[in-house]
Chains A and B, each alone.
Chain A
Amino acid sequence: SQQGEEDPQALSIQEGENATMNCSYKTSINNLQWYRQNSGRGLVHLILIRSNEREKHSGRLRVTLDTSKKSSSLLITASRAADTASYFCATPSINDYKLSFGAGTTVTVRA
């Protein structure tokens, strides 16, 4: 069953701008993960944030987690054309390692 929901569904930005997308989930989690999917390809794991962490960075990616609001955000700074993709949040349940994915945010970066 779907656990996470991303917002917005689609996002179009100019190269160099920042892109922010949000994820809300329903049940308690051990961690929350973000994945990227280029058109018609498999998903690539970007970053994992544990439930006891509030913020995490990886290169141009910044992820926040607010367990009280059951929400997370992914910020991509200084976007590039290569960042054009769909981005998904995924969560395992508290006693379960199986991931449930949201419907994704489609990001288009215009040159």
Chain B
Amino acid sequence: ETGVTQTPRHLVMGMTNKKSLKCEQHLGHNAMYWYKQSAKKPLELMFVYSLEERVENNSVPSRFSPECPNSSHLFLHLHTLQPEDSALYLCASSQEGTGVSGYTFGSGTRLTVV
């Protein structure tokens, strides 16, 4: 366990379904992130939350909707996804404001859209 927990580990959903990915951290970090990792591509930063406020939205389609109700929890709500959205979705947290820190990642959710 890294201190960042993602659920579920695996998810198969149809294109008309609505599902949510959950991320939880108990490290006292003040920033949380969603990344998408597709096969043979670099990690893509999707969303950044700092102090529970969204500070980044990297042109992500509206079928992905993040939510950060408090500094320990981050959700990614999914609806009407496409097969090309199948990927490993990684959540990470960090302590920002100190100038130098590394990220702590969860184990990811392997999403398959059918």
Contacts and interface: CB of A to CB of B under 8 A. Distances in A.
Contacts, number: 59
Contacts of A103: 40-42
Nearest to A50: B100
B20 interface: no
Interface string A23-64: 000000011010100001111110010100000000000000
Given A30-B100, A43-B103, A44-B2, A101 B108 contact: no
A42 B110 contact: no
B27 interface: no
A30 B96 CA distance: 13
Looking at B2, B6, B31, B56, the one whose CB has the most chain A CB atoms below 10 A away is B2
Interface string B90-104: 101010100111111
A99 interface: yes
Main secondary structure of the interface of A (DSSP, over half): strand
B43 A97 contact: no
Interface residues of B, number: 29
Nearest to A33: B102
A42 B107 contact: yes
Contacts of B96: 97
17 contacts: A33-B102, A33-B103, A35-B103, A40-B88, A42-B4, A42-B105, A43-B43, A44-B2, A45-B103, A45-B105, A98-B56, A99-B45, A100-B42, A100-B45, A103-B40, A103-B41, A103-B42
Interface of A: 2, 30-31, 33, 35, 40-45, 48, 50, 88, 90, 97-104
